[in-house]
Amino acid sequence: MIRSRRRKLQVVQTEPGQENAELAPLLSLRPSAIWKQVRQEHLSFWFACGYLFFEYVRPQTIYPAIAFFPWTAMFAVGALLLSFGDKARKPTGSPISKLIVTYGVIVFLSACFAYDPGLSFEHLMDYFNWVLIYFAIVRTIFTPRRFFIFFLLYMLCNFKMSQHGFLSWAARGFTFDIDGVGGAPGWFQNSGEFGIQLCIFTPLIVAFVLAVRPYCSRWIRYGLYLVPVTAIGSTVASASRGALVGLFAASLWALKTTKYFIRTMIVGIILATAVYFTIPPESKQRFENSGSDRTSLHRLDRWHKGWMVMLENPMLGIGHKNWERYYRDHLNYGVPGTPLVHNMFVESGTEHGFLGVGTLILLIGTSFVINGRTRKLAKAQQDTFSFYVAHGLDAATIGMVISASFVTVLYYPYVWIQAAFVAALNNSVSPVIDKKIAR
């Protein structure tokens, strides 16, 4: 009886190397192996994947004939509801989940005491939609195989955008365009927003390639090497200074954390040199004019006014989604242009006060702590895939933070989907012990 219980316990607990053993068929990227695994998964997982596809590829916008239904909402709500019927044992809550909820409380309180409460409550779902989507992902993606397939789909959706951006740039002879290239319709259609997503995607695809290359065939491996090229090229083609700075910062972070410092530095220097010589002269001129050109002056003016508003309304700000209304009523002077504050953190601080922006910074900082825990678990379990992806998530967060400091994108997918991936990856490597068997 004792031997039998010990055998059962070993099946439930996470043994060293077990993750790689589980993922071995998937790491080869053979479609038959991936499809075989997808067919075995719960319906909630299918819905989560459906949400990701419709959110990042936007076929409903590309093909108006199928735009008769709110696909992303249906898949997100469906994934969350169906997750309650998934009998698989789920991990305990994440600190990130608590911070997501805490920020929601702050958003609600800021709406109650807003400059225009009616406007706040009208747009309350601009934030709470992401709360729903976050929990739909973390309640659905909590095993190594589910995370791998979900992450692979995320890479494919981003690759669709990066290769389109790269080919569009190539079609015009790699020349400069002030509007830059954009991504999929919706969140990433404009070049600035697309550039932020590329700052997230590029470190993640590099981590993904490093993790799966020992398991892939030679031709798949060669094809994978081209994907980061399209991401870097699309970043240059986006003509976004913030995106280039964000990508550079992510690269420095990767250099700082790698144990192969000399090798990585040499590769980095080669890539940086190649990127420098591919940047059109007009883009280089824009960097030289930073701080004195029209867009720079516009941003500096809005940041200054945003800081003033934060100091005047320190606790909860002027209210959720109230910045533009408040700006037109009280601050519409100085540098002309849109009221947009062009900084994710100033946007949070003006609307939700120092409580809001402090929680946002704590959420981002906590993601680094969680990724550190993930790497320790992955290293103990000889799980190289999760180890590399956790490093990639760190670098992607750096790229996101830097590039999003020049654009008004608090209610875009960046922070909230990134947080979901950090929590889901940690959940997928955390050992789950069935207490009934243990007893």
Instruction: Look at residue 439 and tell me whether its pLDDT is greater than 50.
Output: no
Band of pLDDT at residue 377, cut at 50, 70 and 90: very high
Q: Rounded mean pLDDT of the chain? A: 89
Instruction: Look at residue 438 and tell me whether its pLDDT is greater than 70.
Output: no
Mean pLDDT of 207-215: 94
Q: What is the CB-side half-sphere exposure of residue 86 using CA atoms within 13 A? A: 26
pLDDT (tens digit, 9 = 90+) per residue, 225-246? 999 999 999 999 998 999 999 9
pLDDT (tens digit, 9 = 90+) per residue, 248-277? 999 989 888 777 677 777 877 877 787 777
pLDDT (tens digit, 9 = 90+) per residue, 352-369? 999 999 999 999 999 999
pLDDT (tens digit, 9 = 90+) per residue, 80-124? 999 999 988 777 789 999 999 999 999 999 999 999 999 999 999
Q: Which of 93, 97, 29, 36 is nearest to 385 (CA)?
A: 29
Instruction: Look at residue 7 and tell me whether its pLDDT is greater than 70.
Output: no
pLDDT (tens digit, 9 = 90+) per residue, 142-199? 999 999 999 999 999 999 999 999 999 999 888 888 888 999 999 999 999 999 999 9
Dihedral of the alpha carbons of 160, 162, 165, 169, in degrees to the nearest 10: -130
Integer CA distances (angstroms), 354 to 181, 313, 346, 350, 402, in order = 35, 9, 10, 8, 20
Count the Cβ atoms, other than its own, within 10 Å of residue 389: 30
Which run of H or of E encompasses 400? helix 384-403
What's the distance, Cα to Cα, between the start and end of the chain in Å? Answer: 13
Task: Enter the pTM of the model.
Answer: 0.91
